[in-house]
Amino acid sequence: MNKLSEAERYLLDAVRRGDEQGWPQLVERYQGRLLAFARSRVRNASDAEDLVQEAFIGLLRGLERFRGDSSLETYLFSILRRRIIDSHRGRARSVCLLRDTLRTSDDDSDTGPEARLPASDPTASTYARREETRGEMHGALAGAIGGLVQGYKETLNFRDLQIIELLFYAQLKNAEVGQAVGADPGHVATIKHRSLARIRKHLMDQQEGSSSGTDQPDIPDALLTEVWEDHRPSCPKRSTIGGYHLGTLDAAWQDYTDFHLNTLGCRFCMANLDDLKQSEDRADLDRLRQRVLQSTVGFLKKH
Ligand SMILES: [Zn+2]
């Protein structure tokens, strides 16, 4: 399923056509949020800029194969995140700040979602290919989780949405989830059971008619977290985060966005909020954009 917005499609078309304005516009649109994310993961400011630069090069190298299974923002975030992991400049950490806060003693830092990813990869094109394979593998599961999240949002059932974010996105234990949202661990277990059943049903409905049988698929928690991180089904839109910042959302959405940013601590969305707040930092961004444009001019000529 194509997840690109009209603006993203327009920008990508412009870049693919070789329109001179296309690439600078695309870089300008995404660099701020990517830099804010990199800075939250990497202490050294110039390392953070290098990694953002590499992420943009990675996008250009994989441009032919990118089909829009996720939004352009999510795709860029995921290339950047893997560059950060591969560079060993950021220790293995969850995307959710809350998980890191609860796991202060590095006891499970080697078993976090990022530690399960394959180790370093030599080239950006191998990278993009891996992205693609992962995309296909996870597509079905992403659809199932997306449907579940959509259902919660449409019915404004933010309470249960928060519970499954804490369970599957932040990979917390039932008791920790209960504490975070002030719910009984038994209720958390019920929500977990119910949502897993719905995800399984969605997967089985999709399999119907194919030859792959009707076994109840087993879904490891770790896989759910990976898919959640790659597809970000629950992340509010950037415009919603902007509305939150201005305080213009409906109360239910304001509360939920506050939870997602400040309790769960989704680093992708925190980066977006930082970027929205830090528009005064434009000099840095102008310099970074010049760097990205200079280092990608050779790739553009090929397209
Ligand atoms: Zn988010």
Domain boundaries of the chain, sorted by first residue: 1-94+266-303, 135-234, 236-265
* pLDDT tens, per residue, the chain with 303 residues: 678 889 999 999 999 998 889 999 999 999 999 999 999 888 888 889 999 999 999 999 888 888 888 899 999 999 999 888 888 655 567 788 888 888 764 444 444 444 444 444 456 676 666 666 555 557 889 999 999 999 999 999 999 999 999 999 999 999 999 999 999 999 999 999 999 999 988 888 877 655 454 556 678 888 899 899 988 999 999 999 999 999 999 999 999 999 999 999 999 999 999 998 886 567 677 888 888 988 888 887 766
Bridge partners of 96?
Answer: 266
Q: List beta partners, residue 266.
A: 96
57: tokens are 């090069």
**Distance between CA 228 and CA 269 in Å, rounded?**
14
Residue of 132, 117, 133 lying closest to 84 (CA atoms):
117
* Cα 105 to middle of ligand 1, angstroms: 25
How far apart (Å, rounded) are the C-alpha atoms in residues 109 and 93?
Answer: 7
How confident is the model over 184-226, as pLDDT tens digits? Answer: 999 999 999 999 999 988 888 877 655 454 556 678 888 899 8
Residue 139, pLDDT score: 81
Specify whether the CB–CB gap between 1 and 254 falls below 8 A: no
DSSP class per residue in 125-182: HHHHHHHHHHHHHHHHHHHHHHHHHHHHHHTT-HHHHHHHIIIIIS---HHHHHHHHT
110 Cα: distance to centroid of ligand 1 (angstroms): 23
Q: Is the Cα torsion angle 284, 270, 198, 176 positive or negative in sign? A: positive
Which two tokens mark 216?
């109840």
State in Å: Cα 294 to ligand 1 middle. Answer: 31
Tell me whether residue 78 is exposed, middle or buried, using C-beta atoms within 10 angstroms of its C-beta: 0 to 12, 13 to 18, 19 or more: buried
> Can you say how many angstroms the Cα of residue 10 is from the centroid of all Cα atoms in its chain?
22
pTM for the predicted model, two decimal places? 0.76
CA angle 168-173-175, nearest 5°?
130
Q: 299 alpha carbon to ligand 1 midpoint, in Å?
A: 31
Cα–Cα distance measured from residue 86 to residue 55, given in angstroms and rounded to the nearest whole number: 12
Q: How far is the CA of 113 from the centre of ligand 1 (A)?
A: 16
What spacing in Å lies between the alpha carbon of 8 and ligand 1's midpoint?
19
Tokens representing residue 237 in the block = 């839109």
Query: Residue 14's pLDDT is what?
Result: 93
Residue 53, H or E segment = helix 45-61
Q: Specify whether the CB–CB gap between 143 and 193 falls below 8 A.
A: no
Tell me, in angstroms, the distance from the centre of ligand 1 to residue 96's CA. 9
pLDDT of residue 109: 42
Say what the pLDDT of residue 116 is.
44
**Residues 235/267, Cβ–Cβ less than 8 Å:** no
Q: So what's the pLDDT on residue 110?
A: 41
Distance from Cα 295 to the centre of ligand 1, integer Å: 30
- Return the CATH number of 1-94+266-303, one of 3.90.79.10, 1.10.1200.30, 3.40.190.10, 1.10.1740.10: 1.10.1740.10
Instruction: Calculate the dihedral angle through the C-alpha atoms of 30, 225, 258, 74, rounding to the nearest 10 degrees.
Output: 10
How far apart are the C-alpha atoms of 121 and 193, rounded to whole Å? 37
Contact 191, 178 (CB under 8 A): no
